[in-house]
Amino acid sequence: MTELRNLGDNRTVVLYTNDNRVYRKIRDSVKPIKIVPYEQEQGAKIVMVGVDIYFPKEYRKWLERNVGFHA
């Protein structure tokens, strides 16, 4: 699942994804403001189960085009 939402400050958009391909593509393409990973213990390992990636709102159209969805 991948979704794009406004933070509410009228300056920031947040991309949430639990898709590793989307995360790697975005992480390697642009510099976000902040990355907040969601991790879970699975057995003896800690794995990332999702991530919020914060961007200036000017990135919204770029994210919509390059992630391949419209939110």
Q: Residues 5-50: pLDDT tens digits?
A: 999 999 999 999 999 889 988 888 888 999 999 999 989 999 889 9
Rounded to two decimals, the pTM is 0.85
Q: Residues 44-67: pLDDT tens digits?
A: 999 889 999 999 999 999 999 888
- Confidence band for 71, pLDDT divided at 50, 70 and 90: very low
| Number of structural domains found in the chain | 1
Cα–Cα distance list, 2 to 19, 37, 42, 44 (Å): 7, 14, 22, 27
Q: Which residues pair with 3 in a beta bridge?
A: 16
Q: Which residues constitute the domain of residue 46? A: 2-67
